[in-house]
Structure 1
Amino acid sequence: MTARLRTWAFNIVFFSGSVPYVLATPLMAALGPRVLRAWVRSWTRYNRHCARLCLNIRIAQSGRIPDGPALYPAKHQAMFETFELVAMLDSPVIVMKQELARIPLWGWAAQRYGMITVDRSGSAAALRTMMRAAEAAKAEGRSVVIFPEGTRVKPGETPPMKPGFSGLYRALGLPVVPIAIDSGVAWPKTGPKVPNGVIHFAFQDEIPTGLPRREIEARVHAAINALEAPADPPHPVRVE
């Protein structure tokens, strides 16, 4: 019951407080991309503060974030990391499912920010559209985040990689930094959140460009699932 009440408290505080952020987005967009991205980062920090205040959920970050743009394939267990990675990686472009772009106001704001929407059917046309948008992001010096397993999964689930990642890897020529995330333990896909938890963002070793598809997919899949198998606990550089 405590978890359910605290989850309700988070939902009330976060979603009511998000209304001004979303409504003000058109004005911020009119002031230019730098202002809009700063505004979005402020919103992601608000999400973090709400999680800490209402649920006492903290963040532990380990590993090294490289200087300059990179391709970040990440584990996806909750909406939490979609917000958090925007702040951690200084306004990256995030590949998201097309359905999210249809949410009134939010979808428009996400596309103005630079989110890449993709049709999960995996058609050739959809993949070409994703490639063009990712190349435009690279030209702006922005990193690209993709959830290569395709959708949110429960802790312990390790579905196969979708084809979009290897296409981005070949096209962008950016260093690859996989991110293992265990958000689903404290922030499950359905049901109440689990208070007093720690969500780990474990940045793995950088993988070079130019590897064969089978090798890069195998290495990335293992790296983003590093927190799914029994192992030594991660060593965070900070907990917030």
Structure 2
Amino acid sequence: MPLVRSILFTVAFYLVTAALLIGGLPTLVSRRRVVWLAQTWARIILRLLDAIVGLRVEFRGLEHRPAGACLVAAKHQSALETLALVTVLDDFSYILKRELMWLPLFGWYLARSEMVAIDRSKGSRALALMNEEAAAAMADGRRLIIFPEGTRRAPGAPPAYKYGVVHMYDRLGVPCLPVALNTGVFWGRRRLTYRPGTAVIEFLPAIPPGLSRDTFYAQLQERIEAASDALVREAGQPGSPRTAVRAQET
């Protein structure tokens, strides 16, 4: 039965996505309309996920979201948070690889919504260009979402944070909102089935601007990893070895 429900959801996901990509073409006239369409799409998909699979998303710590522009640094375990985060962030932009802009139809929406794209072919120049686009997004008052590890990590896997988020925090001068989650327990990176239950996405207290790079880097990783491991254990799975070692030390 879980496999059947997963297949049904997957079919529904692609049908709804295709319908909105085609039917939503008129929204390409403005960035605001594309953002609205993206949020509508995500809400529909989350409802389908709940109705078909029995998997719902619970948000915690919404009161920690700062007003105005901020950097949102989220743990990345599955595609689920990519969908879910846009439903509770009123004006968002993602940091993503430029190759996604080349996808038929979907890439048009990404380009029109002014996502911050990383062109890795430019080498060291890529970081400077990304920071310029990010600064423009901050001037527009957006919530800029970044996955500091750069790719999805399985629950319990050792953290692999990259330093790009530190450069961005130092350059932008805005609060950073850490996000912990346990979505990978329910929606795996390479699984064809989805597990019913309640996936939790938790917004943690914002880190104010102005900290030194090393202090920010340590605080961000420690907060996200400790909270994410707690959520993974809450879902009945073991936390990361790094967190287990810290617990033994204390």
The amino acid that maps onto 1:36 is V
Provide TM-score, normalisation by structure 2: 0.86
Gaps of 5+ in 1: 235-240
Measure the CA separation in 1 of the matches of 2:19 and 2:100: 19
Matched residue SS, 2:176: coil
Q: For residues 8 and 120 of structure 1, do their structure 2 counterparts lie closer, same or farther at Cα, with a shift above 3 Å needed?
A: farther
Alignment of 1:53-132 (within 5 A): 53-63=51-61, 64-119=64-119, 123-132=123-132
Work out whether residues 156 and 228 of structure 1, in 8 Å CA contact, stay in contact via their aligned partners in 2.
no
Change (3 A) 1:230 1:44: closer
Q: 1:96 to 1:67 in 2, by over 3 A?
A: same
Higher relative contact order (CA 8 A, sep 6+): 1
Alignment map for 1:224-235 (pairs within 5 Å) = 224-230=224-230, 233=234
Query: Residue type of the partner of 1:112?
Result: R
Distance 1:183 1:12, change over 3 A: same
RMSD over equivalenced CA pairs, Å: 2.0
Structure 2 gaps of 5+ residues are 236-250
User: Where does residue 19 of structure 1 map in the other structure?
Assistant: 18
Task: Give the stretch that moved more between structures: 74-83 or 57-66.
Answer: 57-66
CA distance in structure 1 between the partners assigned to 2:81 and 2:230 by the alignment? 22
TM-score, normalized by length of structure 1? 0.89
State whether structure 2 residue 15 is matched by structure 1 residue 3: no
Q: How many residues align?
A: 232
1:198 aligns with 2:169: no
Matched, 1:45 2:43: yes
State how 1:180-219 maps to structure 2 within 5 Å.
180-219=180-219
**CA distance in 1 between partners of 2:226 and 2:121 (Å):** 27
What displacement does 1:23 show? 1.6
Bigger proportion of residues as helix? 2
Q: Distance in 2 between matches of 1:172 and 1:4?
A: 45
